[in-house]
Structure 1
Amino acid sequence: MRPSRVLRTIREGKVARVLKLNISDAKIAEIFAAAQPDALWLCMEHTSATWEQVEHQIRAAKLYDVDTLLRVSRGSYSDYIRGYEMDATGLIVPHIMNAEDARKVRDITKFAPLGKRAVDGGNNDAQFTRVGFLDYLKTANEERFACYQIEDPEAMEHLEAIAEMDGVDCLFFGPGDYSVASGIPGEIQHDEIKAVRKRVAEVARKYGKIAATVTNRDLIGEYVDMGYNLLSVGADVIALANYADESMAAFDKALG
C-alpha cells in the first residue's frame, strides 16, 4: 500500500499542510497537488461530488505523492470505507458527538483488532489484490487514518474520552459549525471559539493524536504554537473567487 505522506510528515515532527477542494474536477486536484501540499481535502458532505469524480481526484493527487482526506457523509459503513478502498489516505468524519459515536466510527474504519471494518482487498488501495491480505490489514491500520470532527458544543464534555480511545487518530476542530451552534455564527475568533480551539489541540496532543483545524495564512504560526500539526490553509473556491474579483476590479480601474 502507498504510505501516507501526512503521517510521514507528522511522524517527523513537522506540520502537515492541506488544501481544500470544493470543485470535483480532477484537473483542479492536479493543479493543487502540483503545489506540493501534504494532502488535498475532498468533500462529499457539502458538495455534489460523485464517487467516480472523487476516485479520479485521488488518482490525480497520487501522481504527485499527495494524500487525500475525504470528508464523508454520515451514513452506513459503506459511506466510510468506500473512500479508503478508492485509496483516500484519510477520512474526515463530521459532527462526532460523544465517545459512543466515536467508537462506532472507529469500529467501521479500523480493521481488527482495533475495530470491525469490513474487508475486501480487491480495490485501488490494495492494488486490486496485489497487496498480500495480512499486509493489507496491517498497513491499512497503520497508514490510513480518520479525523474526528469536533464541531458541536455537546462534544466537548466527551473530548478526553474520545481522544484516549485506541484507534482514534485525529481530532479536527471545525470552528464554523461550532460558532453557529454556539449562537455566535461566523465569529471564529470569538474568545469562546478560541478557548475551544486551544482545548481541542491540548487534548489531542495529550493523548498522542493529530490535532487538525482550518486557518488562514496570517495565523499559521499561532496555531502551530497552540499544538496543531495538521492545518488546512486554503481552498479552490476562495482562490477562484478572489482571482475573478481582482481581475474585474483591475479591469474597472483601468477604464476609470
Structure 2
Amino acid sequence: MSCTLRMEHILLARWSVAALIPDPNECDFSRKMPSGRPLAYLQKITGLRSEPTGDFSRCRSHRPRRETDVPNLRERLLSGQKVQGAFLFLACPDVAEIMALAGYGVLIVDREHAAADLSGALHELRAIRSVSAAPVLARVHGAASSSVKPLLDAGFDGIVAADLRSAAEARALVEATHYPPLGRRGAQFTVSRAARYGYDRASYVDRAGREILVVAMIESREGVEAIAEIAAVDGIDMLFIGPLDLSSGYGRYGDLGSAELKEAIAFAEQRILASGRLLGGAAIDPANLPQMFDRGYSLITSASDTGLLVQGSKAAVYHAPH
C-alpha cells in the first residue's frame, strides 16, 4: 500500500495533535487561515470530514513536547547532580519505552555489542522520547567519526566511547563530537534531525556545544595508566569505569570480586576525581549506589534491559517442591 503525504494532510495532523497537546506559541492556526475558521478551512482543502478530538478553542494553551525540552544532562552533571542510568542492549523500542517509564535519569543505547543498525537505534530513541524526557546517550566502539556523527545528527544527547586508551583516541572522540573550532563534526545542522531538520539551524551549533555529553570509557590497564592524559583533552566531560572489561588487566578475567580489580577501580576513581573531570561507572552491585555516589561518582549505571529480563524471568519460574 502506497502513501502520498500532502501538505494539507500535515496541517490537518498538526491541528489534530494540537488539540490534545500543549503549545502556547504554535497552535493559533486562525492567524494564517481564512476567516479564522481552521476546521472549515482544513476540511475544504483536504476533503476530510473528521471531527476534532478535544477542544480546539483551548489550542493556545497546548504545547507538543520537543526534544529540545529534554533536561540538559551535561549541565546537570557539571552542576553536581547525581544520575542513575541503565544500558539498553536488546535493540527493542518496546523495551526501551518500558525502561524509560521506570524513571531512570539517563538511558544508554548500546551500539558496541548490540546487533542493531542505526535505524534501530533511532527507533529506540523515538520510543523513549514518546514517553519520557530522560536524556539518551549512545555507546560506540572507539572514536571513529563515521560511528559518532550519525548518532549525534539523529538527536542523541551524547556519546559514550568504549575502551579509550590514549590521549590521541580522546582527541579523535572530541573531534567527532564537537563542531569547529574544538572539533571537526560535519555541518549537517541545516537538515539534521537533531536540529529539527533545519528549523533550529540558527541555534543548534551553540546548543550542541553546551549540551552534548562526551564520555570516555576506561576499560583496560592501558586506559587506567592514561587517565591523566585522557582527562587533559579539552572536550572530554567524563571518564567512565567499565569493571567487566577492566578485569582483563587486573585479576582473573571476568572475576568482578577480585582484590586486584577492586584496587584498580579505587586507583582509577582517585585519578579521575583528581583530574577534575566527571566520574562515571557501572555498579558491580546496585546496592552499592549510595556508597559510589558518596565516593564522587556523578553517573552510575546499575542495570540493563537484558539483565533485568533475565532476573525477572528466572524469578517468575515456579519450581515445584520435590
Query: Could you tell me the TM-score, scaled by structure 1's length?
Result: 0.91
- The Cα of 1:74 is off from its aligned counterpart by 3.4
What is the alpha-carbon distance in structure 2 between the residues aligned to residue 208 and residue 59 of structure 1? 34
Match of 2:112 in 1: 45
SS at match of 1:117: coil
Kindly indicate whether residue 89 of structure 2 is the aligned counterpart of residue 22 of structure 1: yes
Residue 54 of structure 2 is matched in structure 1 by: none
C-alpha distance in 2, partners of 1:96/1:151?
A: 7
Gaps of 5+ in 1: none
Counterpart residue identity of residue 147, structure 2: D
Contact 1:171–1:212 (CA<8 Å) still a contact in 2? yes
The answer to whether the aligner puts 1:138 opposite 2:213 as a matched pair is no
CA contact (8 A) 1:173 1:213 kept: yes
Shift of 1:197: 1.9
The Cα shift of 1:144 comes to: 0.7
Whether the 8 Å contact between 1:146 and 1:170 is mirrored in structure 2 is yes
2:221 aligns with one of 150, 153, 156:
153
Please say if residues 163 and 203 of structure 1, whose CA atoms lie closer than 8 Å, have aligned partners that are also in contact: no
Aligned mates of 2:228, 2:143 — CA distance in 1 = 25
Q: Check conservation: 2:75, 2:211, Cα contact below 8 A.
A: no
What is the aligned counterpart of 2:315 among 221, 243, 246?
246
1:223 aligns with 2:303: no
For the pair 1:210 / 2:269, whether they are aligned, the reply is no
Structure 2 CA distance for aligned equivalents of residues 131 and 161 of structure 1: 35
Match of 1:166 in 2: 234
Q: Distance in 1 between matches of 2:313 and 2:198?
A: 45
Shift of 1:4: 4.5
- 1:196 to partner: Cα distance: 2.5
- CA distance in structure 1 between the aligned counterparts of 2:314 and 2:256, rounded to whole angstroms: 24
Q: Say yes or no: does 1:179 pair with 2:247.
A: yes
User: How many residues are paired up?
Assistant: 252
Structure-2 residue corresponding to 1:79 = 147
Indicate conservation of the 8 Å contact 1:179/1:185, yes or no: yes
Shift of 1:9: 3.4
- The whole-number CA distance in structure 1 between the counterparts of 2:269 and 2:71 is 22
Residue 98 of structure 2 aligns with which residue?
31
Q: Retained in 2: the 8 A contact 1:69–1:91?
A: yes
Aligned-residue offset at 1:230: 0.3
Residue pair 1:92, 1:149 contacting (<8 A) in 2 also: yes
Q: Give 1:113 shift.
A: 1.9
Equivalent residue for 2:162, pick from 91, 94, 97? 94
Measured at CA, do residues 224 and 98 of structure 1 come closer, stay the same or move farther in structure 2, by a change above 3 Å? Answer: same
**8 Å contact from structure 2 (residues 89, 109) kept in 1:** yes
Return the alpha-carbon distance in structure 1 between the equivalents of residues 232 and 71 of structure 2.
22
Task: Please tell me the residue identity of whatever aligns with 1:89.
Answer: D
Q: Is the 8 A contact 1:4 1:89 kept in 2?
A: no
Deviation per residue, 1:155-195 (Å, 9 max, x gap): 22221111122101110111111102335112223232223
- Cα distance, 1:49 vs. partner? 1.3
Q: Tell me how far apart the structure 2 counterparts of residues 60 and 159 of structure 1 sit (CA, whole Å).
A: 35
Q: Distance in 1 between matches of 2:257 and 2:280?
A: 16
Q: 1:162 to 1:74 in 2, by over 3 A?
A: closer
Question: Aligned residue for 1:236?
Answer: 305
User: Contact between 2:144 and 2:173, CA under 8 Å: does it hold in 1?
Assistant: no
Contact 1:198 1:226 in 2 (8 A): no
Q: Retained in 1: the 8 A contact 2:143–2:176?
A: no
Inter-partner Cα distance in structure 2 for 1:137 and 1:11 = 20
Secondary structure of 1:69's aligned partner: strand
CA distance in 1, matches of 2:79, 2:127: 25
Give distance in 2, aligned partners of 1:105 and 1:75. 5
Q: 1:68 to 1:167 in 2, by over 3 A?
A: same
Secondary structure at 2:127's aligned position in 1? Answer: helix
Choose 6-15 or 26-35, whichever is displaced more.
Answer: 6-15
Q: Distance in 2 between matches of 1:90 and 1:236?
A: 20
Question: Bigger relative contact order, structure 1 or 2, given CA contacts below 8 A and separation 6+?
Answer: 1
Residue aligned with 2:215, SS: strand
The percentage of counterpart residues that share the same residue type is 23
Please give the per-residue CA displacement for 1:77-134, whole angstroms capped at 9, x wherever unaligned: 121111111111111111111111111111111112211222201122101101134x
Ranges of 4+ aligned residues in structure 1 off by more than 6 Å: none
Q: Which whole-Å deviations, capped at 9, do the CAs of 1:204-239 have from their partners, x for residues lacking one?
A: 333332211111321112211221110001111111
Offset at 1:6?
Answer: 2.5
Q: Distance in 2 between matches of 1:39 and 1:94?
A: 17
- Structure 1: distance between partners of 2:134 and 2:95: 13
User: RMSD of aligned C-alpha atoms?
Assistant: 1.8
